[in-house]
Amino acid sequence: MRLLVCGGAGFIGSNFVRQRVDEHGDEVVVLDKLTYAGRRENLAGVAHTFVHGAIEDPDQVAGAIEGVQAVVNFAAETHVDRSIAAPDAFVRTHAQGTYVLLEAARAAGVRYLQVSTDEVYGSIAEGSFTETSPLAPSSPYSATKAGADLLVSSYFHTFDLPTLICRGSNNYGPYQYPEKLIPLMVLNAIHGDRLPVYGDGMQVRNWLFVEDFARAIGHVLAHGRPGEAYNVGGPDECANLDVVRRIIELTGGAESLIEYVADRPGHDRRYSLGSEKVGALGWAARVGFGEGLERTVAWYRDNAPWWEPIRSGDYRAYYERQYGRALGAGGVSGS
Ligand code: NAD
Ligand code: DAU
């Protein structure tokens, strides 16, 4: 199959492209704007055609979509903290970008899969969200993702475009940009930098290994029913503080590196997805959190050439703005 994968140079997109090429022999065209989170290095060694462009640019999209059988859209601004600091790019990419892609898929008459998130449902104290739970997003990130989901569904209802939506829970694994909890804590622990825990650290996330999510997306693309949304939740949930403690154990860091910092505004307390619907299509997670976290820590430890340019580049300024301290300053070495 020939696929257009938008946002394929990011974390989940690059894992998906690698899986499709290596395990399914697909031909893949990657369209990616290469924001701070998109990197050609993420696709090193993976055969693909690369188009440097934005999903909100109709001309770039029209060129990239030629001859493909399906579009899978990962392209997004994905960090909740950045959506609080500067929401404009989130609105542009999620609203205008999704619209441009849907129009192009409609003109080409091809299947369209939107990669979405559990965050569109908001927070849940107990139990798990199903696909019929109301959308109640909390942040500019999740609100614009929810808007994109609604636009996707409208193209099914109004134009008969064969659309699918895959809503994943928190992903982790190789190639994740170190602004997100797990890679940030792993790299900080390795370097003896402080480990900034928001609020009381008791927020709960439903962890999903990236290869499992990538496989679910391929599975839904092949077997999903047009017009439907599918939740893809991880097998395990864990409070942030426990995640950080497990990382400290795996890296040999010091517990005294933990630093409680101001909470994220509007912070969702708990996410949880029921995956029965995608399970009925034949998908199940293969990697539990214990194994996945060990593999992730080992990957970051073994791939310094991947993260060194990030930690020595613009990321330093981001980090200082976000955490009010320079990276590499104020660590508690060896204590
Ligand atoms: P990421 O930030 O690592 O990658 C996003 C990619 O999209 C980057 O390559 C970036 O350059 C590209 N991009 C951004 N704006 C673009 C634009 N306007 N045009 C073209 N390319 C653009 O993100 P990720 O964590 O891999 O997430 C991928 C998708 O999965 C997103 O839609 C996200 O909402 C969703 N998702 C993420 C998670 C998670 O835990 N990371 C969980 C569920 C769903
Ligand atoms: O749930 C799926 C979502 O998971 C995706 O849609 C988003 O794109 C992705 O960024 C992620 O969102 P979260 O906000 O859950 O992930 P993040 O890694 O930013 O934070 C995870 C938890 O850890 C959250 O409760 C906030 C907390 N946290 C995060 C950072 C970066 C900290 O305590 N300290 C930190 O420094």
Question: Distance between CA 264 and CA 267 in Å, rounded?
Answer: 5
What is the pLDDT averaged over residues 154-162? 98
Pocket test for ligand 1, best of 74, 120, 172, 240 (most atoms within 8 A of CB): 74
Contact (Cβ atoms closer than 8 angstroms) between residue 297 and residue 155: no
Q: Which residues, including other chains, have CB under 8 Å from residue 3's CB and lie 6 or more apart?
A: 20, 26, 27, 28, 29, 68, 69, 70, 71, 72
pLDDT digits (tens, 9 = 90+) for 224-254: 999 999 999 999 999 999 999 999 999 999 9
Q: What's the confidence (pLDDT) of residue 334?
A: 39
Burial class of residue 174, CB neighbours in 10 A (0-12, 13-18, 19+): buried
pLDDT digits (tens, 9 = 90+) for 44-66: 999 999 999 999 999 999 999 99
Amino acid making up residue 326: A
Q: What's the confidence (pLDDT) of residue 48?
A: 98
C-beta 172 within 6 A of ligand 2 = no
Ligand nearest to the CA of 270: 2
What is the pLDDT averaged over residues 287-302? 98
Question: Distance between CA 118 and CA 168 in Å, rounded?
Answer: 6
Q: What's the confidence (pLDDT) of residue 328?
A: 83
Ligand 2 geometric centre to CA of 24 (Å): 31
C-beta 273 within 6 A of ligand 1 = no
Question: Distance between CA 211 and CA 247 in Å, rounded?
Answer: 20
pLDDT digits (tens, 9 = 90+) for 29-46: 999 999 999 999 999 999
- pTM of the predicted model as reported, rounded to 2 decimal places: 0.98
